Structure 1
Amino acid sequence: MGDSVTSDGINYRIVSPSLTVKAMRDSGYKNTAYALAELIDNSIDAKANLVEVFACENPVQVGSRTSHRVETIAVLDNGHGMGPQQLRRALKYGDGEGADPSRIGRFGMGLPNSSMSQCTRLDVWSWTNGAGNAMHTYLDLEEIEQGLIDDVPEPDHSPLPDYWRDLSEGLGDTGTVVVWTNLDKVNWYGAAATLKNTADLIGRVYRHYLDEGRVDIRMAPVREGKVVDGEYHAVPNDPLYLMGSTSTPEPFSDKPMFMPFPMGDESAPGVMHVPVSHEGKLHNITVRASIARPEARRGDVEGHPWPDGISRTADPGKLPWGKHAQRNVGISLVRQGRELDLDASWAIGYDPTERWWGIEVEFPPDLDPIFGVTNNKQSATIFSSLAHFDWKVHAEAGESPKGFKERLAELGDPRLPLIDLVHYLEDKLLPAIRRQLKQQTIGTRKSKKRHDADVDSKATDAVKRRSEEGYTGKTDELDEGTTPEAKRQEQVEVLTRRHHLDEDIARSMVEESLKKDLRARWISDFQDTSAFFSIDLMAGMLQVIFNEKHPLHSHLMAVLEDVPEDADADELRDRLDRAAETFKLLLFSWARMEDETYPDRDRERIADARREWGRYARDFVDGKAD
């Protein structure tokens, strides 16, 4: 059992070293930045508080001109370093430190796996008692392919080269440097461009470590042994936009652009814990949610003006901070304080308002099998597969939610532990966030369509005319003797508490109504009722609320109002045809209601209501009262 070579000289290894390394080279890293993140993981696990990433370029002749191309990438840290045995193990596939729940690393695959995915030569120096006492070893794909080495070379004493000592700003008595050469998989050419392309990702993956000051990540482009322009220190890139100092453009670079979305415990707004059982132990999954502050989407919020030179009616999605948010769409999966993935599959891809919410799902390493965490820590396959999951589609005929989960348990379905979490995200949290985002821009110049303002004004004229002709309503009775301040307060409370509008938006709408003496207002809201519209009767204000949850909204209102600016004549004609069809079906639904109403006396009351509504409709539409 000891020797893999038999007496006839044939090698019976299950997998040859050269084939293993070549196969591992195509290990699914999305790009160089993700491969670099594996090395930074190791530095953080080694308790480093400074990590320096160097992209070193040299001149190359391209035709008649000289250009510069990255030929070496290195990651240097001031962590605790490694002794000879640990260093040698670190370069072995699937060894390393093993599954330690206190570490970011998983299977000891990160260092060799990420490195050989980008280069064919990997060198590592590590020291525990001064850089002059460093130990060195390496992996070289060419030597492996030629059969020159089968094992990781035994580390030898090799002082850290002066080249890296001179570049470092925080060389410690302990530390490690990982050097990639013969770069054949790096996608970028110049040193500055190579590091610039990592800024968003590195800042997002390690945002919690950076925000808490646990690590400083220096990104330095190098030319001819000197750091050149383009150096930067990574700053948090927070997809929840709740951190104070981040990479978000002004005016939100030093203050949160989002606010916690109310859920869970009131003492910790925007945070909720979802318990999950795995292997007999109960673990907490922490869900954090945020939503854009009004001033991120509107330039008229008092006390929060947009920067000079930006129109107050500009589309916020096209402004610098809106474009930044567009790059951070999705649910952020965080494991051991480090982001695994920003999973955009949970967002509605075609809807630009999806950039204005953030959700983070944090879980401990013990739940890696539940989420389906991959070896390269770039995704959680089981969680991602459940985006837009509808249990009813997968249920058997007549199966209840409880029965569905019991069947999954019997089958050992790996999705079962996450079903409740997914149900909460898909059916409760995200719909509530999207409703509030919809309400945020109600009343703005951009969302307040001209015909909406016209219909409010025309309805007001009809209400006033009927009132002057002696037809009084409840709103007229409530208005008698009510002060403007009392009306203002009542309307703001109804808009904010009942219809979930932002308070600044609600006050702006009410002020406009009082200024123009409007007696009618049209708004939309998601409502849990079968009615397609409802009414609020307030002092001097008749408010009609169209129920966006009712199919009539998507089949009638959205068809007529949400018309693309580039719609052609055929599309407009089709929209009018669909709206006309929907309106006719609406009248048929009333007719059938009368048809099915018994006894005859009740049917006659409904017919009287229909005729009475017709008279009111004539008054409001044509301005002709009886």
Structure 2
Amino acid sequence: MSSEGRIPAIEGAHLLQSLRASDFDIPSAIGELIDNSIQADAKTVNIKVKDVVAGTHKKYKLIQEIVCADDGYGMDATPGSTLHSCIKLGYSTRFNNRDGIGRFGVGMTLAGIRFATKIEVYSKQKGKKWNYIIFDLNNDEDINEGIAPPVEKEPPAEYLTLVGKSEGTLVIWSGFDKFAEQDLHATTYSDGFEAPDSLDPYGYLNHWIGRTYRKFIWQGVKINLNDQEVYSFDPLFISKQKNQFPEDPKAKIIFEKEIDWNVSHNGKKGGSETSKIKIKISLLPEFYRENISKGGLQFKGRYIEENQGISILRSDREVYYDEIPYFGEGRVKKLNWEDKDRWWGCEISFTPELDEHFTVKNIKRGAVPAKELKIALYSLIKPVRDACIEQVQAHWARVKANQERGKFETGTDIKTTHATAETLAKTTKIPEKPKAGKNLTPAEQENRLENLTRELDETDAQKWRVKFESQPFTIMDGHWKGDTFIDMNYLEGKAILQYNLNHVFFEEMSNIRKQLQNMDDPTKAVKLAQKLHELIDILLMSFVRARQGFDEDSEYSVKQIMEYTVRDWGRYLHTYTRAYEKEHLFEEDV
């Protein structure tokens, strides 16, 4: 066939500008870099995101450079080789390969030019030197004449420690120019939590990477983001391996199944070749579900509110995490996603042979099952989902019943002799906010509650828990061996003081009370004994409140601890005693 009169099918410069309007966001773009590192058998992947402060009135951070460095096997640097061609759109040593997480050969470059104008790649193979290529959208030669051959060049000194010593690859994206894009604001990827839950300045990006590549992290791949190791995150809450909150309880696997599905070739079905789809469903622990109204939001860093959907993995790499739209057998018979769907987790895993059935895109985002497969998955998942929701609602009914019962157990059912001091602590304003117990994880707080009530039966334990929650300061009488006469526990915003009634101090106190009660004027004696008892409460309560002013995560010298404790103990004792005197101002002297 003659080539006369033909024109190029592609207008290179215009096409490149058009391709910059792809669907990549910053996390999925960085994901393309991590994919390449994992495909190169990297054991360590280092991501760096550099930003600058921008804005005149309202300040925000603008991403300036993204770097990915690894210790995987490097690329051949001869002209026309892998390194020379790696930026070329459509080039891939693994094009249409169904064995790994790559396939199309457009990821790294398409992701890079989505935001940046310059892509630089350094690569080194074992026993060879570093080589370098560059592609710059602002360089007419690169656009019109093509990518220059690799040259020998060492990576910048600041990044040499991030790559492997004997082999590795370094990719640098720079020249970010789409300043109006929300995706270029570094603040978009902060999690906004407080320590110790926060992983900022890129906490949410850390979370996204940890969830997307969780299986690889479990297999030993170490990923660092701005020198901070990325934690794995399992949206099924089953695995706590390399997780930020390993002490949290694990979810239960309530359903597992593998199904065989016919493989399509170029959109055509037929033949006997099949591939397996794995389905796993979990029910989140009751630990997260106690507070009906908060919906898990109190558990910072667990992202329970995002768990309203399904995680789909392709070759162990997550390619979708959201509600599946129109998930059902038609417009009427479908799953209507609700807030309570966050309490069960679902993971669907498949291999690349089934890409057509999961409508996988070239940017590995938005993989959703095709119609026939969607119906098959729905028929398996929907009954399990309904059973999970029933369990969640049944648990909430029990919680609500306990809360209703607890309305009558906020102290009236627990008769102690410490009510005056506890009421004083509740009504007396102390300007300083307590620090001790502020940074407890939910699991640590639960562990302290269990230790406080472990000697009690279930009914009494529940009553005391309600009492702890209802007031800032609680005093308990206890009995234990040893020389300690009090014990202190701190929860978030709460303090619990325990008296060891086996201690000689309290035995003597008890003797004094008995002697006073045997005085000639029993009325005065009883009042005096009670007043003495209340003042002792105030004395020790003041000490515990002074201790509550110390941040448990900070370091103090012994001298500082003693000085601050004595100072604050006296200050709080003065405040509480004055308040006590006002309470008893018009009482008769005893």
| Same structural fold, with TM-score higher than 0.5 when normalized by the shorter chain | yes
Residues 1:415 and 2:371 are matched in the alignment: yes
Deviates more, 1:13-22 or 1:65-74: 65-74
> Which residue is 2:257 aligned to?
272
- What's the offset of the Cα at 1:76? 0.4
> Which residue is 1:141 aligned to?
137
* In 2: Cα distance, 1:93 partner to 1:162 partner: 29
Closer, same or farther: CA 82–369 of 1 in aligned 2, 3 Å: same
> Which residue is 1:435 aligned to?
390
Closer, same or farther: CA 322–12 of 1 in aligned 2, 3 Å: closer
Closer, same or farther: CA 147–71 of 1 in aligned 2, 3 Å: closer
Deviations 1:44-95 (A, max 9, x none): 00000100011234577x6699997542211000000101201122211112
Out of 185, 203, 209, the position equivalent to 1:202 is 209
Deviations 1:439-469 (A, max 9, x none): 222322368768xx9xxxxxxxxxxxxxxxx
Closer, same or farther: CA 259–321 of 1 in aligned 2, 3 Å: farther
Closer, same or farther: CA 336–65 of 1 in aligned 2, 3 Å: closer
> Which residue is 2:45 aligned to?
51
- What's the offset of the Cα at 1:209? 0.9
Deviations 1:77-129 (A, max 9, x none): 00001012011222111121212222211211111111111201111111103
Which stretches in structure 1 are left out of the alignment for 5+ residues? 221-230, 264-270, 299-311, 384-413, 454-510, 513-626
* In 2: Cα distance, 1:448 partner to 1:370 partner: 48
> Which residue is 1:174 aligned to?
167
> What is the TM-score with the length of structure 1 in the denominator?
0.55
Residues 1:320 and 2:314 are matched in the alignment: no
Closer, same or farther: CA 239–148 of 1 in aligned 2, 3 Å: closer
Out of 357, 372, 379, the position equivalent to 1:370 is 357
- What's the offset of the Cα at 1:151? 2.4
- What's the offset of the Cα at 1:246? 5.5
Deviations 1:358-381 (A, max 9, x none): 000000000001110011001114
> Which residue is 1:88 aligned to?
84
Secondary structure, aligned partner of 2:96 = coil
Letter of the 1:48 counterpart? A
Closer, same or farther: CA 315–196 of 1 in aligned 2, 3 Å: closer
* In 1: Cα distance, 2:287 partner to 2:59 partner: 48
Counterparts of residues 533-612 of structure 1 (less than 5 Å) = none
> Which residue is 1:27 aligned to?
22
* In 2: Cα distance, 1:322 partner to 1:235 partner: 11
Letter of the 1:439 counterpart? A
> Which residue is 2:222 aligned to?
216
* In 2: Cα distance, 1:244 partner to 1:432 partner: 25
> Which residue is 2:177 aligned to?
184
Residues 1:287 and 2:279 are matched in the alignment: yes
- What's the offset of the Cα at 1:415? 2.6
Which stretches in structure 2 are left out of the alignment for 5+ residues? 191-199, 265-270, 328-334, 409-457, 460-590
* In 1: Cα distance, 2:297 partner to 2:121 partner: 45
Out of 206, 227, 233, the position equivalent to 1:237 is 233
> What is the TM-score with the length of structure 2 in the denominator?
0.58
* 1:441–1:447 contact (8 Å) kept in structure 2: no
Letter of the 2:298 counterpart? L
Closer, same or farther: CA 74–194 of 1 in aligned 2, 3 Å: farther
Residues 1:107 and 2:107 are matched in the alignment: no
Count of matched residue positions in the alignment of Structure 1 and Structure 2: 379
- What's the offset of the Cα at 1:163? 2.6
- What's the offset of the Cα at 1:183? 1.1
Deviations 1:420-452 (A, max 9, x none): 2232223x22222222222222322368768xx
* In 1: Cα distance, 2:347 partner to 2:33 partner: 24
Closer, same or farther: CA 446–318 of 1 in aligned 2, 3 Å: farther
- What's the offset of the Cα at 1:41? 0.5
* In 2: Cα distance, 1:433 partner to 1:59 partner: 46
- What's the offset of the Cα at 1:187? 1.9
Question: Equivalent pairs: percent with the same residue?
Answer: 24
* In 1: Cα distance, 2:248 partner to 2:61 partner: 38
> Which residue is 1:612 aligned to?
none
Deviates more, 1:338-347 or 1:358-367: 338-347
> Which residue is 1:161 aligned to?
156
Deviations 1:173-231 (A, max 9, x none): 11111101111245224798663341121011001111232x111111xxxxxxxxxx4
* 1:137–1:154 contact (8 Å) kept in structure 2: yes
